[in-house]
Amino acid sequence: MSPPVHLWGSLTAVLQRLMAHAWCALLLDYDGTLTPIVANPAEARLSPAMRRVLTALARHPRYRVAIVSGRALADLRGRVDIEAAWLAGNHGLEIEGPRTAYRHPGALRFRPAIEALARTLQSALREMPGALVEDKGLTLTIHTRRTPAALLPTVKRLVFRLVRPAIDAGLLTLRTGKAAWEVRPRVTWDKGKAVRWIAERVRMEMPEANGLAVYIGDDDTDEDAFRALGSAGIGIVVGDDRSTSAAHYYVESVEQTAQFLGLLRARAWPKARGAASSLSPWERARMRALPSDSRAALLPSPRPSHTGRGGVILGPMGSPGEVGTSLQAVETHYP
C-alpha cells in the first residue's frame, strides 16, 4: 500500500472526481479533524467559520454531511447541532440522521460491563494526575493527554490490568487512540461499518443517481473508515502520523481540512457575481499557484446529471454497491 500523498498536489483530480458524481456523502471525524485536539475534551468546539461551512454543505442538495466520532451521540449532538447532518457517536454504535435512528443492538447488552469498569477505573486512577475516565454509555475512554510522561507507564499497567478480565471474558476490547485508550463492547462494528451503513441509507434516498463518499479523519480509529472506502471512495488523513495510513491523501492540520471544505462550499454555492469573485483570498492564491488547465477544476461547473451508473462505493453491510447521492466538496470560506 502506497502512503498517502498531499491533497494539494492532487486537488484538480480530486475535485474532478467529486464533480463527476451526482451526490457526495461527506463523512468527517470531529476531534483533530474539525476541531483542534485540546487537553480537555470538553473544550473542543467548532469554530464559527467551520460551523458555517458545514451548515452550508449540509443544506446543499448534492451533499450529505455526517460527523462520525468516538464521542457519545448526545455529546456530539450538543457540539454540532447542524440541521440535516448525520451524527454517528461511539464510533458508530449509535447513529441518527433525517428520519433515522440506530443503536447497535449487541452493544446494549454490554452496558453493565462498561458501567462497572468505568467505576473501577475511576477509583483506581483517582490519584493519577491528568488521567480522566469518560463513561460514554456504550463505550468508555481513558484520557491521558494531561498525565505527566513519567506516570504514563504506571497508568498503562493499571488500565491493562483492570480491563484484562473483561477482555478475557469476551465482553470488551481495548484499543489505543491519541493520548487515550478506548474500551468498547466486543461487537463486529466500527467506524468503517458505520460509514457503510450511512452511505447505504443515503444511496436509498437517490437510487437513480451515482455518488461518492469522502472520509476525513486523524485517528487510528478512522483507519477502519479509510479501509471500508477503499478505492471506491476518497480517504483523507489529517496530521503527521500518516506513513501507514490507508487513506489516499493527507492534509497537515485542522486548518487545511477547513480550507478544503471551503473550496467545496465555493463550488456548491457560487455567488451570482461570478465564480472567481466568490473565492476567498486563500482560494485565489491557491488558484494562482496551479497550472492554468487546473484552475478550471476549482470553478463551479454545471450540476451533473442524476442518471447513469458509476461511482461504486458502499453497499449494504460491507458488500460493494452503487451509491447515488449528490456529494459535493466543502470549501473553507472565511467571510
Q: The domain spanning residue 98 has which CATH number?
A: 3.40.50.1000
Q: Is residue 79 part of a domain?
A: yes
Task: Answer yes or no: is pLDDT of 168 > 60.
Answer: yes
Give me the pLDDT at residue 314, please. Answer: 35
Task: Answer yes or no: is pLDDT of 141 > 80.
Answer: yes
Q: What confidence category does residue 152 fall into, taking pLDDT thresholds of 50, 70 and 90? A: very high
Q: What is the DSSP letter of 307?
A: -
Q: What CATH number should be reported for the domain holding residue 138?
A: 3.30.70.1020
Q: Is residue 327 part of a domain?
A: no
Q: Is residue 142 part of a domain?
A: yes
Q: Are residues 111 and 100 in the same domain?
A: no
Q: Are residues 213 and 98 in the same domain?
A: yes
User: What is the residue-wise DSSP string for 101-152?
Assistant: EEE-HHHHTTHHHHHHHHHHHHHHTTTSTT-EEEE-SS-EEEE-TTS-GGGH
Q: Are residues 43 and 154 in the same domain?
A: no
Q: Are residues 80 and 212 in the same domain?
A: yes
Answer with the one of 185, 201, 220 that is the final residue of a domain. Answer: 185
Q: Are residues 88 and 196 in the same domain?
A: yes
Instruction: Answer for the pair 162, 120: CB distance below 8 angstroms, yes or no.
Output: yes
Q: What confidence category does residue 14 fall into, taking pLDDT thresholds of 50, 70 and 90? A: very high
The residue-averaged pLDDT of 308-316 equals 32
Q: Is residue 331 part of a domain?
A: no
The verdict on whether 75 is a catalytic residue reads no
Q: Are residues 257 and 201 in the same domain?
A: yes
Q: Are residues 294 and 243 in the same domain?
A: yes
Q: What is the DSSP letter of 2?
A: P
The residue-averaged pLDDT of 273-292 equals 46
In this structure, the number of other CB atoms found within 10 A of the CB of residue 176 comes to 12
Task: Answer yes or no: is pLDDT of 280 > 70.
Answer: no
Give me the pLDDT at residue 248, please. Answer: 97
Answer with the one of 142, 165, 185 that is the final residue of a domain. Answer: 185
Q: What confidence category does residue 273 fall into, taking pLDDT thresholds of 50, 70 and 90? A: very low
Q: For the stretch 143-155, what's the b/e string if a residue is b when 16 or more beta carbons lie within 10 angstroms of its beta carbon?
A: bbeebeeeeeeeb
Give me the pLDDT at residue 288, please. Answer: 52
What is the C-alpha separation between 118 and 140, in angstroms, rounded?
7
At 66 the three-state DSSP class reads strand
The residue-averaged pLDDT of 93-104 equals 94
> What confidence tens digit (pLDDT) does each residue in 210-247 have?
999 999 999 999 999 999 999 999 999 999 878 899 99
Q: Are residues 100 and 113 in the same domain?
A: no
Answer with the one of 169, 185, 201 that is the final residue of a domain. Answer: 185
Q: Is residue 170 part of a domain?
A: yes
Least confident range from 110-114, 201-205, 300-304: namely 300-304
Mean pLDDT score across all residues of the chain: 84
Q: Are residues 293 and 213 in the same domain?
A: yes
Give me the pLDDT at residue 255, please. Answer: 96
Q: Which structural domain range is residue 145 located in?
A: 107-185
Q: Are residues 98 and 219 in the same domain?
A: yes
Strands laid side by side in the 23-28 sheet:
5-6, 249-251, 234-238, 211-217, 23-28, 63-68, 86-89, 94-97, 100-103
Q: What confidence category does residue 97 fall into, taking pLDDT thresholds of 50, 70 and 90? A: very high
What is the C-alpha separation between 158 and 31, in angstroms, rounded?
26
Task: Answer yes or no: is pLDDT of 187 > 80.
Answer: yes
Q: Are residues 43 and 91 in the same domain?
A: yes
The amino acid present at 201, given as its one-letter code, is: R
Number of structural domains (the chain) is 2
Give me the pLDDT at residue 297, please. Answer: 45
Q: What confidence category does residue 7 fall into, taking pLDDT thresholds of 50, 70 and 90? A: very high
Provide the β-strand partners of residue 200. Answer: none
Q: Is residue 330 part of a domain?
A: no
Task: Answer yes or no: is pLDDT of 139 > 90.
Answer: yes
- Higher pLDDT pick, 196 / 304: 196
Q: Are residues 295 and 194 in the same domain?
A: yes
The residue-averaged pLDDT of 248-273 equals 87
Task: Answer yes or no: is pLDDT of 113 > 80.
Answer: yes
Instruction: Please state the pTM of the whole predicted model.
Output: 0.81
Give me the pLDDT at residue 287, please. Answer: 47
Q: Is residue 22 part of a domain?
A: yes
Q: Is residue 329 part of a domain?
A: no
Q: Which residue in 29, 31, 222, 224 is the catalytic one?
A: 29
